[in-house]
Amino acid sequence: MKTILLFFASLIAMAFSCERNDETVVALSAATAKLDGTWKLVEPATPYTITLELNLMPATATALTASNVYEATGKAPINSYFTKLTQPKPAESDQVIVDGIGSTKVGGPAEVMQAEQTYFTNLKNVTRYELTTQNRLRLHHSSGVLVYEKIK
């Protein structure tokens, strides 16, 4: 009887400690195959169209350092940008490493340039990802989450 009560108590504790989320996260092995494509930023909300295109690059890693490397390009509020996202151990982890971000150097209004710089900073600080069954990609960074919807 005590075992049953402890079991239900732990279930209740876990339910209250977990964050509620209506989207199911895809298993990592399946997620790797579905990262390719074009994504549009939907959160945080912005009046600007921001895109991210991911393309898996041909395997260049050795068996000891197996990793997936994605060429990442996109359109920020004003400039186009490019970088690489690396999954150090794609079959085991949701971690990603973002290389330095390069971009075109077109100028614009100060508030738009600030929004773009904030986006670049957040993207550079991404450390892990989640792919949901609703074709949403979440890139977690040091101060929040960038949420994208797949458009292609």
Domains and CATH numbers, the chain: 23-150 (2.40.128.270)
**Does 132 score more than 90 pLDDT?**
no
Indicate the DSSP class of residue 65.
G
User: pLDDT tens, 83-122?
Assistant: 999 888 766 678 999 989 999 999 999 999 999 999 999 9
Residue type for position 149: E
Indicate the DSSP class of residue 134.
T
User: pLDDT tens, 7-65?
Assistant: 334 433 333 334 434 555 554 445 555 789 999 999 999 999 999 999 998 865 444 45
**Cα(140)–Cα(112) distance, integer angstroms:** 23
Q: Are the C-beta atoms of 38 and 149 separated by less than 8 Å?
A: no
Indicate the DSSP class of residue 66.
-
Element (H, E) at 30: helix 28-34
Average pLDDT over residues 65-91: 88
